[in-house]
Structure 1
Amino acid sequence: MLRRALVCLIVLIGFSLSVTYSEEKMRLAILPFSNVSESTDFGWLSTGIPESLTFSLSSIHNISLVERIQLESILEEQELSLSDLADESSAVSVGNLSGADTLLVGSFQITGNRVLIALRFTDVSSGEVLTDKTLRIEGELEEIFTLYKNLSYGIIEKFQVQITPAEIVRLEDQSEITESLKAYEYFTLGKNQYYKESEEGYEEAAGYLQKAVAEDNEFGLAYAYLSLSYQKMALLRGQSGRGGYSEYVEKASEYIIPAREYGEGIAQVHKILAEVLYLKGDVIQAGRDVQKSLYLNPMDVETWLIKWRIKGKGNPEHPDLLRALSLDPESAEIHITLGKAYARKSFFPEALFHFTKAFDRDPRNIALHYGFAEVYQDMG
């Protein structure tokens, strides 16, 4: 407790940060980083760095982060590669489509056992590079999580983001997810596959995550994603009528235990366990985990959505769903969820309103197009 109090005091003095919430949020899109090293051995950091920064900053109320899935959808739709993002106009186009007001484009360079990370910010509305906000940090690869934490504080300071002592404590507590760089590499590669949202992707993710926990057998977050990957595979097998459902459910259950043991007190672990348990039908334990996750990080939009699925009974005006919307009014996922909920109650104008809002942010979302089709069919 004393350490946390000192951390809060030092950061508050060092950065001169307010402890109240602002009415205006910074909406930030963090794009994949460019590898400017001579070697491609650490290419996985292209997604590992933005993923970790997103993880760190997700607990800050006054920073709203564009979802990774939405960004990847935009990059695919615009047929843009990492090299294309070096062009300012292409990057700004991505920012506009994502609804961000600020764009973070970064790069990293590995030399020996040291890493240099550079961050460049662009104002999306003007297309102007914010030269006074540029950040650079260098250090040992083995200390990369400390570098991430310092970059997070740097972003907060540069943009004068108001932050509370509780948020500082959360940022400190989730700054390091593993002590093994190799485990972190496998974890990042696994997450890359997981985001493909396909049976093959989940299977590949599980393979990498198995390697991650082999490198660090106390890696709670990796165990949690292992459990979720197997549970998602089980659902897909069950929906298709193919075999393997029971086997994957059993594997998902197997990894809940080490995830809970080694991930205790990590908000994201409890969030993932809540989703796994909800999918398994254990709504009581799922409710406990989602509540604990929100206690640890009340600013996480996805956790409020999971809580709504567990307890909201499909009500589009349930406080949990409205809380998620208030935290991220531009989220395509939230508007799709609201659209579906209103459609089930035959409130078609409201459903179309939210589907249209989602379309503005993620026009290629398959679930969104199904939602539109079902509403128009039901309307006759």
Structure 2
Amino acid sequence: AVLPFANGSNDSEMDYLGEGISEEITNSLSRLPNLQVMARSTVAHYRTRQDDPQGVGSDLHVDAVMTGRVVIHGNEINVETELVNVVTGVQLWGERYTRSANDASLLQAAITRDIASQLRPQLTGSEREHVAQVGTKDADAYRLYLKGRYRYQRWTLEDLKAAAEFFDQAVAKDPGYAAAYAGLVDVYAIQGYEGYVSGTELMDKARSAARRALELDNNNPEAHAALANLDFNYFWNFPEAEEEIRKALTLDPNSAYAHEVHCWIQTSRGRTQQGLAECRRAVELDPLSPLNNFALADEYFLAREYTHAIEQANKTLEIDPNNPQSLAVLGHSHEQLGNYKTAMEQWVKIERLRGHEARANELMGIFKKEGYTGYLRRTAKDGSAEGDYDLSAGNYAMLNEKDKAFAALEKGFAKRVVVDINIDPRFDHLRSDPRFADLLRRIGLPQVQFPTSPS
């Protein structure tokens, strides 16, 4: 595990530098053969425990922990690093580096090369150089890229917008910087996923950025995984999605993100157990990631393993108590099991998290007066009016109001938000209808058969 490097300066604006360098070292080391490196999003939970590498390593079940401290003196960067054996507390390696601020990317390369030599002494010189490769020698481009990565991790509307601006500036400084293009792809994908922005223009820009990154560096696993994500979720180019995700995993078998995307693809193709295994692997690699934990819960739901879905969603809520996606998995799972009161409690919690207290009270009032069908009918109608066609179609399908469900699905098809309908339990009433088979054909999804009894 590589802990985020501590900022030894008094300027909090420089937090991005230590965190960015340590993240890039993590990404590079994860590509070493037969070495598992904990993902940044899990290790970030321990950023304040630099003085307790043994305790952190014990919590994370790793053999060694790397720590670092970054201090800025004028135009000079000083970095102190050490690698500690978790069992004995012995320092396995340590080094102090001093570089000009203009050589920050070379500093990262030097640290990565040295630590790789300690972890894998049998590496040849060329292999060490490859692992330590940094995508740019332009100091400004590198700093802008690290700032983009730092803001990207937060996933808020404002932070993602800022991250995109930093990555754009980085590629303007160095048009050959593949990692900065891959960063843009990540931002566009999450902006679309979170619903912050939408439309074909954004996704076309994302795909162009991914392909540009691969033109510059075809061995960039993040770009291959990002392109697979776009191909699967938006462009429905499923053959290319499978090809790209296999390339990503070949280049970086320890990428939790790549295993996550592979999980989605496998499950949608009807390979349910293989997909769940990929989602579980993503959680093993990044155990404190709310996204990976939620995604495993969601895939359990889609696999009709509702008990496991509820258990996993609750685990995710232990990590992130206000995670609305996990509350939705709880709601949908209890809904399928007929536990309508418990399902309603989840929908009300989500509304309250959004600050919609009056709406929460209104929906609970409808449930008490008209039952769960009243709630479904009201939210189906509202979803259609508000452009939430997935919600509308799913609720109309559960009400067995097929014409309205298909009308909403067609609108969802136009917005390209229907990629999971072949495995989503909410649409089981529609599966025998020829219109459903036709919709699957147009998307390129296979018909998938599931056991009739839920678990």
Q: TM-score, normalised by structure 2?
A: 0.61
Structure index of larger Rg: 2
Question: Which 4+ runs in 1 deviate beyond 6 A?
Answer: 38-41, 162-165
For 1:55, the equivalent position in structure 2 comes to 27
Mark the runs of 5 or more structure 2 residues left unpaired by the alignment. Answer: 340-455
Q: Which residue of 1 aligns with 2:415?
A: none
Aligned length: 332
Inter-partner Cα distance in structure 1 for 2:299 and 2:198: 31
Residue 109 (structure 1) aligns with: 71
* Distance in 1, Cα, partners of 2:117 & 2:134: 21
- Asked whether 1:155 is paired with 2:126, we answer no
**Distance of 1:164 and 1:359 partners within structure 2:** 42
Give the TM-score normalised by the residue count of structure 1.
0.71
Q: Shift of the alpha carbon at 1:266?
A: 2.0
**Letter aligned with residue 233 of structure 1:** Q
Please point out which of 251, 254, 266 is paired with 1:296: 251
Residue 39 of structure 2 contacts residue 285 of structure 2 at CA under 8 Å; is this kept in 1? no
Distance (whole Å) between structure 1 residues aligned to residue 266 and residue 226 of structure 2 = 16
Structure 1: state its 5+ residue gaps.
1-27, 76-81
Q: Which position in structure 2 is the counterpart of 1:11?
A: none
SS of the residue 1:45 aligns to: helix
Structure with higher RCO (Cα < 8 A, 6+ apart): 1
> Residues of 1 paired with 2:251 and 2:22: CA distance?
22
Map 1:205-354 onto structure 2 (within 5 A): 205-237=163-195, 245-281=199-235, 282-313=237-268, 315-318=271-274, 322=277, 325=280, 329=284, 331-332=286-287, 336-351=294-309, 354=312
- Do 2:151 and 2:159's aligned partners in 1 also have CA atoms closer than 8 Å? yes
* Shift in alpha-carbon separation, 1:229–1:62, aligned structure 2, 3 A: same
* 2:90 maps to amino acid: L
Q: 1:310-343 CA deviation, whole Å, 9 max, x = no partner?
A: 233264420x653674587363355543333223
Map Cα deviations across residues 8-32 of structure 1 (whole Å, 9 max, x no partner): xxxxxxxxxxxxxxxxxxxx2x222
Q: How far did residue 186 of structure 1 move?
A: 0.8
Q: 1:169 to 1:274 in 2, by over 3 A?
A: farther
**1:228–1:273: 8 Å Cα contact kept in structure 2?**
no
Candidates 130, 137, 154, aligned match of 2:97: 137
Cα distance in 1 for partners of 2:179, 2:227 equals 10
Letter in 1 for 2:267: G
Q: 1:365 to 1:101 in 2, by over 3 A?
A: farther
Question: Please, which of 190, 204, 214 is the counterpart of residue 148 of structure 2?
Answer: 190
Contact 2:41/2:286 (<8 A) preserved: no
Shift of 1:54: 0.7
Residues 271, 289 of structure 1: 8 Å contact kept: yes
- The 8 Å contact of residues 214 and 220 in structure 2, kept in 1 or not, is answered as no
Alpha-carbon distance between aligned partners in 2 of 1:365 and 1:317, rounded to the nearest angstrom: 29
Give the superposed CA RMSD: 3.7
Contact 1:190/1:209 (8 A) holds in 2: yes
Q: Give the % identical residues.
A: 20
Could you say which residue in structure 2 is the equivalent of 1:65?
37
Q: 1:352 to 1:155 in 2, by over 3 A?
A: farther
In structure 2, do the counterparts of structure 1 residues 245 and 98 end up closer, same or farther at CA, with 3 Å as the change threshold?
farther
Task: State how far apart, in whole Å, the 2-side matches of 1:154 and 1:54 are.
Answer: 13
Q: Alpha-carbon deviations, 1:92-135, whole Å to 9, x = none? A: 666565555543331123445543321234566x7x74334333
**Amino acid of the structure 1 residue aligned with 2:234:** K
Q: Aligned pair in 2 of structure 1 residues 171, 55: CA closer, same or farther (>3 Å)?
A: farther
